Structure 1
Amino acid sequence: MLVLRAHHLLCIQGYEGNGYSFKFTKNMDRVVNTLSDNTYIKIVTAVDDICEKCPHELKNDTCKSQEKVFEFDIKVLNELKLIVNRTYLYKDILNSIRENLSYEKFQEICGSCQWFHYGYCKNGIFGNSGYMK
């Protein structure tokens, strides 16, 4: 089972092998390559399996940008109709993304993320058109 922050559910959709550091990218590769339809994922709003190698994680299991990323998490939970600390099958999360996330909602949730302007997540979720794949 993977443990993932709610907003990371969107980040992984467009992941292309880039990250904050080599260790972070290698760990992100591991997480993304672990995912299959039948992978169990526990949704959290705290440090998760991706944060494990992030250079921004602090020693007390808190992110340097905790307030900002917590806001991302809450918005994702609300839009995807997911419950924190609950475990889901990855295929059910993907269905929830398809059913509940419009491009406008995505922009609202992720527009202030430092990675947003690269378009990785947008392209992973919606393709170049801005419409769900």
Structure 2
Amino acid sequence: MLILRAHHLLCIQGYKGKGYSLHFTDNMDKVVNKLKDNTCIRVVTNTDDICVACPHNFKNGFCESDEKVFVFDSKVLNELKLIEGRTYLYKDILNNIRENLTYEKFLKICKSCYWFSYGYCFNKLKKH
């Protein structure tokens, strides 16, 4: 089972092997490569399996950007009708994204994200 922040469910869709550091991208590669249709994902709003290698994550598991990313998490939970702490099959999450994530919802969730201007996420999400 993987533990993922709600907003990371969208981030991994547009992931292109770029990130904050080599350590971060190595970890992100491992997480993304573990994702198969039958992978169980527990959705959270705190540090997760991706955050462990992020340079913004302190050793005690606290993210220096926690307030900001919590807003992203909350919007994803709300717009995709997901429940924090619940475990889902990855294929069900993908189906949910495909069926429910409109461009308007994507903007509402992600427009203030640092990575938004690169266009990675939406370009990948619209192909689903």
User: TM-score w.r.t. structure 1 length?
Assistant: 0.94
Query: For 1:37 and 1:92, how far apart are their aligned partners in 2?
Result: 8
1:99 CA displacement: 1.5
1:108 CA displacement: 1.1
State the Cα RMSD in Å.
0.7
- Equivalence for 1:116: 116
Q: For residue 47 of structure 1, give the secondary structure of its aligned residue in structure 2.
A: coil
- Equivalence for 2:46: 46
1:60 CA displacement: 2.1
Query: For 1:77 and 1:14, how far apart are their aligned partners in 2?
Result: 18
Query: For 2:116 and 2:100, how far apart are their aligned partners in 1?
Result: 19
- Map residues 56-75 of structure 1 onto 2, 5 A cutoff: 56-75=56-75
- Equivalence for 1:90: 90
User: TM-score w.r.t. structure 2 length?
Assistant: 0.98
List runs of 5+ in structure 2 lacking aligned partners: none
Number of residue pairs aligned between Structure 1 and Structure 2? 128
1:59-108 deviation per Cα after TM superposition (whole angstroms, max 9, x unaligned): 22111010100000000001111100000000000011111110111011
- Equivalence for 1:104: 104
Query: For 1:61 and 1:49, how far apart are their aligned partners in 2?
Result: 11
- Equivalence for 2:81: 81
Q: Choose 59-68 or 113-122, whichever is displaced more.
A: 59-68
Runs of 4+ residues over 6 Å off in structure 1: none
- Equivalence for 2:13: 13
